């Protein structure tokens, strides 16, 4: 029997503002995009589909929410018609990408430069995770400070820039730590998104291909219920994830 050809659907959460940031990042040939939960149910096509949860590590519950919606959608359909890929990335990937973006950026005086990581506010634990990421990013980069600003949260971008200035920063650089671009600011320089189009497309394709391979080899569609989630991250798949984290993405 010929294996079905799978399309790809991207399930976006708060890190991509419900998926609304993704089409502009991916361009005209991008896979279809939808929000998680009920929005996903109405967006699933009749053809065989792999759904990729679009998180960069601050929404570890997104795969579970997506799996629940897919279990509902799979009723009455052929087994294996809907596959859930593993999440696009985790916080370890994000730390590596942010470090790479900072190292490849040009700063006049790194010793007096502050990088402000900007991302949407999600909730207490996901927001705290961004502060943890900022601390890890700062450890191996040339800039003096790596701080956090939360759009729609506390501290916001204005407060973040003000804090950087109060710490003594002569240059403040805004760097997105989500799919959403950082806003322009009169007193700061803004860098582009941490994942470029080609890198993001390649990673999505990789996650979809992994899901198809897992189904073909092990008949695992990824939809099984998981153990109750705590805000920790699964152990790294060392060789593969090390390569993904340290691939330069511009």
Say yes or no: 14 and 76 in one domain.
yes
Neighbouring-strand partners of residue 221: none
pLDDT score recorded for residue 4: 82
Say yes or no: 179 and 221 in one domain.
no
**Six-digit token string for 5:** 């050809």
Neighbouring-strand partners of residue 155: none
Residue 236 falls inside a structural domain: yes
Is the CB of residue 127 less than 8 Å from the CB of residue 225? no
pLDDT score recorded for residue 3: 63
pLDDT score recorded for residue 230: 46
Tens of pLDDT, residue by residue, the chain (250 residues): 456 899 999 999 999 999 999 999 999 999 999 999 889 999 999 999 999 999 999 999 999 999 999 999 999 999 999 999 999 999 999 999 999 999 999 888 999 999 999 999 999 999 999 999 999 999 989 999 999 999 999 999 999 999 999 999 999 999 999 999 999 999 999 999 999 999 999 999 999 999 999 999 999 999 998 655 444 444 444 445 545 655 544 4
* CATH code: domain of residue 143: 3.40.50.1400
pLDDT score recorded for residue 236: 43
Residue 68 falls inside a structural domain: yes
What does DSSP assign to residue 168? T
pLDDT score recorded for residue 247: 53
**Distance in angstroms (rounded) separating the CA atoms of residues 93 and 236:** 10
- What is the number of domains present in the chain? 2
Residue 239 falls inside a structural domain: yes
Say yes or no: 149 and 114 in one domain.
yes
Say yes or no: 120 and 161 in one domain.
yes
Last residue of a domain, one of 190, 205, 232: 190
Domain that holds residue 178: 107-190
**Distance in angstroms (rounded) separating the CA atoms of residues 103 and 90:** 20
Residue 2 falls inside a structural domain: no
């Amino acid at each position: 029997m010929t294996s079905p050809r799978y399309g790809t659907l991207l399930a976006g959460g708060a890190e991509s503002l419900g998926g609304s940031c993704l089409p502009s990042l991916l361009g005209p040939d991008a896979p279809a995009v939808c929000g998680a939960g009920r929005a996903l149910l109405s967006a699933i096509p009749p053809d065989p589909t792999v759904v990729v949860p679009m998180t960069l590590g601050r929404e570890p519950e997104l795969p579970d929410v997506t799996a629940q919606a897919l279990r509902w959608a799979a009723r009455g359909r052929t087994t294996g018609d809907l596959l859930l890929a593993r999440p696009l990335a985790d916080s370890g990937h994000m730390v590596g990408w942010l470090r790479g973006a900072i190292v490849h950026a040009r700063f006049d005086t790194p010793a007096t430069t502050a990088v402000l990581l900007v991302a949407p506010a999600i909730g207490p634990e996901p927001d705290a995770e961004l502060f943890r990421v900022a601390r890890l990013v700062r450890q191996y980069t040339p800039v003096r400070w790596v701080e956090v600003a939360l759009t729609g949260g506390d501290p916001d971008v204005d407060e973040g820039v003000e804090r950087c200035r109060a710490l003594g920063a002569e240059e403040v650089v805004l760097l997105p730590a989500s799919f959403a671009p950082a806003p322009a600011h009169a007193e700061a320089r803004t860098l582009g998104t941490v994942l470029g189009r080609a890198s993001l497309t390649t990673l999505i394709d990789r996650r979809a291909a992994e899901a198809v391979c897992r189904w073909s080899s092990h008949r695992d569609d990824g939809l099984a219920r998981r153990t109750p989630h705590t805000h920790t991250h699964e152990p790294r798949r060392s060789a593969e994830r090390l390569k993904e984290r340290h691939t330069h993405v511009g």
